[in-house]
Amino acid sequence: MTDRLSEETRGVLIVGAGPAGLVLGNLLLAAGVDCVIVERQSRAHVEQRARAGFLAANTVRILTDAGLADGLLKDGRQHDTCAFRTESGEFELAYGDRGRGEAHTVYPQQHLVRDLVAEFLARGGDLRFGTAAVEIAGLASDRASVTVRTPDGGSHRLHGAFVAGCDGRHGTARATVPATAARRHVRDHGVSWLALLAAAPQSMAAVAYAVHRDGFAGHMARTPDVTRYYLQVDPGDDPDAWTDRRVWEALDRRMRTDVHGPLHRGEILERRVLAMRSDVLDPIQYGRLFLVGDAASLISPSAAKGANLAVMEAETLARALAARLHGDDERLLARYSADCLPRIWRAQEFSHWMIGLLHGPTGDGDEAAFLRALQHARLESLRTSRRHQDHFADNYVGI
């Protein structure tokens, strides 16, 4: 039996309800632009998916201006210091006092997503969970379409003036852009992290980056009861091979807890291996399809930029779509990609630099010793040079 295809016409078709799609949807609703969001997963799934936590000042400004920041202003915590631990000791960098003097707001991504979903629905938005985009077509016409698989297993086709591809790195939107229409800039940084969430309060006030011969280790606050830890592991490592005991031993050794004091331990709620990869599409628009967030560019989590780029792009696209649909002004939309890509590359450059700062070579050969000496010199520059600290601060919190 073949499915009967139902059809419907809407304004902007948004694929994906992560930070990118939800910020875009809320901004379009506020601008009076008709839109619909389709999301493959359930509401419970997206509201529990723990990922980012460090929101840049620009992100907080965009969300505050749009009336979307009540939760993060109430429960988010200001964060303005990071610490580097090396063989020679620990130094703290109070980045909130350097450069432009901006701080992060620590607020878990799943809480932000929960707030954005609630706000979108409260404002009368149309958000369909359990609804996966399977085909995006008609991008050269003024009647683009997204065909979706509905929760009951049926097929439905949405038509609209524009499609916003906010469906992440493995989504349908990115796969729709033909290889001949955009250049993909891909880099595997050759480094993997075991990303951990522990049911334990943070062990120190600062984000801590530990540079160790065994590999990098990181400590980042999330909520009063949950802390994110990272451990550099061999690419392709099985996360389950990292037992609780092995994890805490490695964290203790690399964070040098014998010198700096113990870590609060707790149940490990999540462990997954992340390969540090970058993947930037250029341009990030194709006909009537506009890519936003991870669908447009994947960035390593080394400098916590991904969700912040997603929000910046969503704001840029919302303004461009409103100008086009309300005022028939095509200019902002035509240069959406050109406006976003320099900021995407700035973030990529800083994240790439952070990867070099945090990961030294293993082994004892001449080349490894040379590269470790360079890494040490880089950290020393950051410890001692106020100019370097200003530059770091602007890039670390800026987007």
* Gap between the Cα atoms of 190 and 208, Å rounded: 22
* Residue of 19, 108, 283, 301 with catalytic role: 301
As measured in angstroms, the least distance from the Cβ of 357 to ligand RFL is 17
Query: Scanning the structure block, which residue is given the tokens 């901006």?
Result: 102
Active site residue 264: no
Contact 382, 389 (CB under 8 A): yes
Nearest CB to ligand RFL, comparing residues 49 and 264: 49
Nearest CB to ligand RFL, comparing residues 159 and 383: 159
* Residue of 209, 229, 286, 336 with catalytic role: 209
As measured in angstroms, the least distance from the Cβ of 25 to ligand RFL is 11
Interface with ligand RFL, residue 197, by CB under 6 A: no
DSSP structure string for 204-218 = SSSEEEE--TT--EE
β-bridge partners, 91: 84
Cβ contacts of residue 127 below 8 Å, gap of 6+?
17, 25, 36, 37, 39, 117, 120, 121
* Gap between the Cα atoms of 22 and 278, Å rounded: 23
Which of the residues 274 through 313 are near ligand RFL (CB under 6 A)? 274, 293-295, 301, 304-308, 310
Contact 39, 116 (CB under 8 A): no
Active site residue 230: no
Which of the residues 29 through 68 are near ligand RFL (CB under 6 A)? 38-41, 46, 51-54
Interface with ligand RFL, residue 208, by CB under 6 A: no
Question: Of the listed pieces 13-21, 62-70, 236-244, 323-331, which binds ligand RFL according to CB under 6 A?
Answer: 13-21
Cβ contacts of residue 138 below 8 Å, gap of 6+?
144, 145, 159, 288
Task: Return the C-alpha torsion angle 19, 22, 23, 25, nearest 10.
Answer: 160
Active site residue 388: no
Interface with ligand RFL, residue 263, by CB under 6 A: no
| Residue ranges binding ligand RFL (CB under 6 A) | 15-21, 38-41, 46, 51-54, 109, 132-133, 166-168, 171-172, 195, 274, 293-295, 301, 304-308, 310
Residues designated as active site = 79, 209, 301, 305, 396
